[in-house]
A and B are shown apart, each in its own frame.
Chain A
Amino acid sequence: MIRVELLGRQERSPWPKVLLSVLVVCGGLYGIYHFFPALTRPIFSASSALIAAVQQEIAPQREAISSPEEAQRETTSSSEEAQRETTPSSEEAISSPVQETAPKPTTQQEVARSATTHREATPSSEPETASSPVVQPEATPSQAPSPQHSTACHQVMRIDEQVPTGIRVASLNCNSIGEYWLEGTSPSYKVLRMFRLRLQTLPSRVSFSTWQEERTLRFAFQGRFAEQDTPPPAVLSSDQAEQFFGKLARWADASGLDSLSIEEPTHRALSAAHTHQRQKLRGLGSPQQINAFLQQLQQAEEVATLGEVLLMPVTSDESGWIQARLYAAVDIVVDAP
């Protein structure tokens, strides 16, 4: 069953009940202890002895953590835990969407009443309406990030340079195995055909989907670049990984990307010896700013792979997009600790 919760989560959390039950039990025990100490003394004295024994057992282990590295690791893990605690869960995030300080994308509205198919990517501007319910990007989802060194995303991002005048890109999405999805609108079939021909000259398989909506000609392309026989990326030490992600943030900043948001890297074990680390970055920039950042990143392709990229133009004119939202996931392989 598909169940979306737009009026808010309706299931009540079981924790208040559990907490109340625990409080009642504790209160009851306290009452019994207070009024009938003879009955409960054996229980409490036994548990006190048990706690003392456990504490004695733990104490030497704590003392054994003495090297600076281990102390640092412990500090890091506790700070990570603290961070996890402060990070809202996905459900919390959904119920109260993140408010970004960045300017919101400008409107690309389509009035959605016609005899032809509806497909709105943006909500209507009517005060109480959201938009008509429908969609269709395309194709299969990405696979797990490949540990192979891959330049596929860089190849895909060059598609943007092939976009003819008049075509408006709504989103360009790709991953490291070379799959990409491109959506947008075209002023005419002729321009769209030209774009298709250009895409067909690239070393990629492409499937096309076009349809008319009101007077807007929409398209959704799905493609995949041929996999290249590339060597695996160089493996970094933990320190190098930290330094690299530091550089990544500086490159993004130096390229002029606005509203930068960089998450803590995620870790995934690849083998006993290696882990895969991913740094997610989000920002807003012009074509020049985004290209500058991606080019900088490409220079580090021996150690880092652009795992996923999503480009969503927010302002465009006849000659193309002027400003876009960028999501990039950068992958590296690191020695396991």
Chain B
Amino acid sequence: MRIAALDADRAGIRPLVLTAEELERPFDPVSLGDEQQRQELATKLAALAATYDFDYSTACFSLDRRLGLIQRRPLVASTESENRQQLLWEAEQLLTEDAEAFSCDFVLTSQWGFVVAARHRALDGYRTLGKAAAVGQLDVDLVPFALYNASECANLLAKDTFSLLLYADASEAWLLLIEEGELCALTSCGWEQEDDAPAALEGAARKLLSAGGNGLQRLWGAGFVYWSEGLAAHLGVPHSILDPLAAVKPKLLDSTPPAQRSEYAIAVGLAQRGLVR
């Protein structure tokens, strides 16, 4: 579990804490659904706040990869409200069960509509955890959007026509195709120990690029950057480290190298959401 606590004042945004904690059991839907495990998580969160001297007045959790549905759809209507209405209808067709069991929202870019849905029941698990951990203002977000927000707040986007963002963890990864600073497509992939992780990553990347990424100019890597370096070499594009704190004044940062900070890209993206209203 990675935690980023940020603070904002006149001098700008500064990191308070970037820390990773090993959990005895994974922070997943099962642990959220089990009262005892949820309580253990809440206790752990409280202990971290006490250790590092921060509070959860505003906190944002990333949704587990299995809990959020994201569907990209072409925008067919001419106005935003019509597009939202159309996407809502499409979402209802995509959701195999009663649409009321889901909380839905939409991300509209100039070209695409992204339908986002999560089960109310799953979200309730986060609400209960938030209550147990004394979170003041609770929020949840999906990993790809947190990654995008971190990159945008770090002023890393919009420099290239097409760029690929990759966050790779120990067994899963998220990839975002960005066109002139705007989200164009996204995907994720996972692998088990015996699987060929580079092949899975390359397959996911090629799929994204086939969705319209001709002329990829850069790959921004975060997390375990050796995966992204390998992928960039395979794709034949330059690799850069996605440092989520690249826009923070250097005097406010410690000596942690950018590659290590990139492991907190998602956590920083989540925290940014609480700072930018």
B117 closest partner in A (C-beta): A130
| From A97, A114, A133, contact of B88 by CB (8 A) | A97
Given A100-B92, A104-B96, A181-B74, also A133-B273 (CB < 8 A)? no
Q: Which of B85, B141, B149, B152 has the most chain A CB within a 10 Å cutoff?
A: B85
Chain A nearest CB: distance from B66 CB in Å? 5
B residues less than 8 Å from A212 (CB atoms): 203
Does A61 lie at the interface of the complex (its beta carbon under 8 Å from any beta carbon of B)? no
Q: Which of B3-11, B104-112, B251-259 contacts A (4 or more CB under 8 A)?
A: B104-112
B66 touching A6, Cβ below 8 Å: no
| From B66, B106, B145, B200, contact of A124 by CB (8 A) | B66
A97 touching B104, Cβ below 8 Å: yes
Chain B nearest CB: distance from A277 CB in Å? 13
Does A325 lie at the interface of the complex (its beta carbon under 8 Å from any beta carbon of B)? yes
Q: Return the CB mask of A1-45 against B: 1 if under 8 Å, else 0.
A: 111111110100000000000000000000000000000000000
A1 touching B187, Cβ below 8 Å: no
A115 touching B191, Cβ below 8 Å: yes
B residues less than 8 Å from A175 (CB atoms): 76
Q: How far is the CA of A5 from the CA of B190 in the complex (A)?
A: 26
B residues less than 8 Å from A113 (CB atoms): 190
Does B43 lie at the interface of the complex (its beta carbon under 8 Å from any beta carbon of A)? no
Given A1-B153, A128-B125, A268-B78, also A133-B107 (CB < 8 A)? no
Chain B nearest CB: distance from A43 CB in Å? 40
A139 touching B74, Cβ below 8 Å: yes
Does A314 lie at the interface of the complex (its beta carbon under 8 Å from any beta carbon of B)? yes
Does A109 lie at the interface of the complex (its beta carbon under 8 Å from any beta carbon of B)? yes
Q: Is the contact region of chain A dominated by helix, strand, or loop, or is it mixed?
A: loop
A136 touching B105, Cβ below 8 Å: no
Q: Which of A140-148, A231-239, A242-250 contacts B (4 or more CB under 8 A)?
A: A140-148
A97 touching B96, Cβ below 8 Å: no
Q: Which of A96, A117, A209 has the most chain B CB within a 10 Å cutoff?
A: A117
Given A128-B122, A138-B212, also A104-B97 (CB < 8 A)? yes
Q: How far is the CA of A135 from the CA of B106 in the complex (A)?
A: 14
Given A100-B92, A116-B189, A138-B211, also A131-B203 (CB < 8 A)? no
A residues less than 8 Å from B67 (CB atoms): 128-130
Q: How far is the CA of A99 from the CA of B176 in the complex (A)?
A: 33
Q: How far is the CA of A325 from the CA of B8 in the complex (A)?
A: 49
B145 closest partner in A (C-beta): A2
A residues less than 8 Å from B98 (CB atoms): 99, 104
Does A94 lie at the interface of the complex (its beta carbon under 8 Å from any beta carbon of B)? yes
Chain B nearest CB: distance from A259 CB in Å? 11
Chain A nearest CB: distance from B224 CB in Å? 16
Q: Return the CB mask of A72-113 against B: 1 if under 8 Å, else 0.
A: 000000000000000001100110111110001111110011
B204 closest partner in A (C-beta): A117
Given A129-B66, A312-B90, also A106-B32 (CB < 8 A)? no
Given A93-B88, A181-B74, also A133-B125 (CB < 8 A)? no
Given A4-B105, A7-B127, also A94-B207 (CB < 8 A)? no
Chain A nearest CB: distance from B213 CB in Å? 11
Q: How far is the CA of A175 from the CA of B77 in the complex (A)?
A: 10
Please tell me the number of chain A residues within 8 Å of chain B, measured between CB atoms.
77
| From A2, A94, A117, A220, contact of B189 by CB (8 A) | A117
B residues less than 8 Å from A327 (CB atoms): 86, 89-90
| From A5, A108, A133, A181, contact of B143 by CB (8 A) | A133
Q: Return the CB mask of A191-230 against B: 1 if under 8 Å, else 0.
A: 0000000000000000111011000000010000000000
Does A118 lie at the interface of the complex (its beta carbon under 8 Å from any beta carbon of B)? yes
A residues less than 8 Å from B276 (CB atoms): 1
Q: How far is the CA of A290 from the CA of B123 in the complex (A)?
A: 38
Q: Which of B13-21, B132-140, B225-233, B241-249 contacts A (4 or more CB under 8 A)?
A: B132-140
B29 touching A128, Cβ below 8 Å: yes
Does B51 lie at the interface of the complex (its beta carbon under 8 Å from any beta carbon of A)? no
Does A132 lie at the interface of the complex (its beta carbon under 8 Å from any beta carbon of B)? yes
A127 touching B121, Cβ below 8 Å: yes
Q: How far is the CA of A179 from the CA of B73 in the complex (A)?
A: 14
Binding site for A on B (CB under 8 A): 29, 32-33, 63-78, 80-82, 84-86, 88-100, 102-107, 111-112, 114, 116-119, 121-123, 125-127, 137-145, 148-149, 152-153, 183, 185-192, 195-197, 199-200, 203-204, 206-208, 210-212, 272-273, 276
Q: A6-B103, A130-B66 are in contact. List 4 more A-B contacts (CB 8 A).
A: A7-B127, A116-B203, A134-B187, A181-B74
